[in-house]
Amino acid sequence: MKIDHIGYLVKKMDRAIKTFENLGYRIKQDKVRDEFRKIDICFVENDGYVIELISPYDKDSTVSGLIRKYGNCPYHICYCSDDIDRDIEKMREAGYLAWDAPLEAPACGNRRVCFLIHPDLGMIELLENRI
Ligand code: NI
């Protein structure tokens, strides 16, 4: 499956953006606040590699537990899907457990995303392609 981006947890979004810029990354999509997940998201890119910076702005965010445990770190690879419902079903059959139902992501043009866990890989994300 084609990779869309790598998700990267950061404790301080603005400082992380500056530090990635110093490594040669450019902002691909400015900061967006996802109020459902209580996170800020910013996409940066370097030579075709797209990193999604994710930072909680509230202690009840969907990633607060992860960031407390792991600190600043990459934590998922996101793959593009032409048919997210079909692919989730296929991945369930291949041993993945869906973390939640596919939900629209404001930071991704309201395309649906779904996180899945596999015992040999950890977490991945599926992102439906723009139609
Ligand atoms: Ni992602």
53-63 pLDDT, tens digit per residue, is: 999 999 999 89
Confidence of residue 131 (pLDDT cuts 50, 70, 90): low
CATH number reported for the structural domain that contains residue 13 in this entry = 3.10.180.10
* Cα of 1 from ligand 1 centre, angstroms: 15
Interatomic CA distance for residues 13 and 50, integer angstroms: 16
Residue given tokens 């994300």 in the structure block:
125
19: helix, strand or coil: helix
* Cα of 80 from ligand 1 centre, angstroms: 11
Interatomic CA distance for residues 115 and 110, integer angstroms: 15
Mean pLDDT of all residues belonging to the chain: 94
Angle at 78 between CA 1 and CA 58, to 5 degrees: 170
75-128 pLDDT, tens digit per residue, is: 999 999 999 999 999 999 999 999 888 988 888 888 999 999 999 999 999 999
Task: Quote the percentage of the chain above a pLDDT of 70.
Answer: 99
* Cα of 67 from ligand 1 centre, angstroms: 15
| DSSP string across 46-90 | ETTEEEEEEEESSTTSTTHHHHHHH-SEEEEEEEEESSHHHHHHH
pLDDT of residue 51: 98
Total count of domains within the chain: 1
**Domain region containing 105:** 3-128
Is residue 13's pLDDT more than 80?
yes
